[in-house]
Amino acid sequence: MVADRAFISLRDITKVYGSGQTAFQALKGVNLDVAQGDFVAVMGPSGSGKSTAMNILGCLDVPTSGTFLFKGHHVETLERDQRALLRRKYLGFVFQGFNLLARTSALENVELPLLYRGDPKQERREAAMSALDKVGLGKWWDHTPAELSGGQQQRVAIARAIVTNPDVLLADEPTGNLDSARSVEIMELLSSLNRDAGITVLMVTHEPDMAEFARTIVHFKDGLVDRIEPGHGKKATH
């Protein structure tokens, strides 16, 4: 794919932590294109650079050198506040640990990004309920995390990630704290959001059976993209 036509493009991306003799090069010249609407699983052993690359893709960190294009715009040149605006407008995040506020309802948890954005209360409520409906939890809107299963909590976290209608959903080990059955449920949900809502999904996973749901699998090794292979794009079986 031609770089300037890619939805997301990394060119010769390096990342160095520290300096002098203690310097560690986490990324050594990563090149990667992501097409709009793709579902990408990012895999690799610990220390391979996949998490560093995902942090850069999520505008949570900046490269030491190289070019990062998002919709044709040079992200590597943005200031901290500009990157924060890009995250807020275009990106949604799902983490292994759910990161829900314990004493607030599912609805209130999902509303948070809109609250930070300054949206009016009624608009927040309607958008949050719509997001909960999309993940199958509309009837559970008033339950706190303690009243929900692990799979349900992750669904709330996904609803919170999509309530802003992001173009890209970044998921870091989204099934890492779930049993097999709940893991499949979450992967089927991510697949449906990718397929039906057109959200581009970038997911880090250690689990090959979870990566089967992706349409593209990127393998990292020693700070570089080792290989890229097609995934199966596995769909729901029940």
CA angle 231, 236, 238 (to 5 degrees): 150
Structure letter (DSSP) for residue 178: S
pLDDT under 70: residue ranges of the chain: 1-5, 235-238
> What does the pLDDT read at residue 232?
84
| DSSP H or E stretch at residue 211 | helix 208-211
- Is residue 28 a part of any domain in this protein? no
> Who contacts 230 (Cβ-Cβ below 8 Å, separation ≥6)?
215, 216, 217
> What does the pLDDT read at residue 1?
34
Selection from 167, 144, 137 nearest residue 37 by Cα? 167
CA angle 150, 153, 154 (to 5 degrees): 90
- Is residue 207 a part of any domain in this protein? yes
User: Which CA distances in Å does 227 have to 8, 65, 80, 180, 230?
Assistant: 18, 22, 32, 27, 10
> What does the pLDDT read at residue 3?
39
Instruction: Provide the whole-model pTM.
Output: 0.91
- Look up the domain containing 196 and give its range: 36-63+90-230
> What does the pLDDT read at residue 122?
96
- Is residue 194 a part of any domain in this protein? yes
CATH code assigned at 94: 3.40.50.300
Average pLDDT, the chain: 92
> What does the pLDDT read at residue 161?
95
- Is residue 237 a part of any domain in this protein? no
16 has which bridge partners?
Answer: 25
- Is residue 19 a part of any domain in this protein? no
Predicted confidence (pLDDT) per residue in 28-78, tens digit: 999 999 999 999 999 999 999 999 999 999 999 999 999 999 999 999 999
CB 162 within 8 A of CB 92: yes
- Count: domains in the chain: 1
- Is residue 78 a part of any domain in this protein? no
- Is residue 105 a part of any domain in this protein? yes
- Is residue 26 a part of any domain in this protein? no
> What does the pLDDT read at residue 235?
60
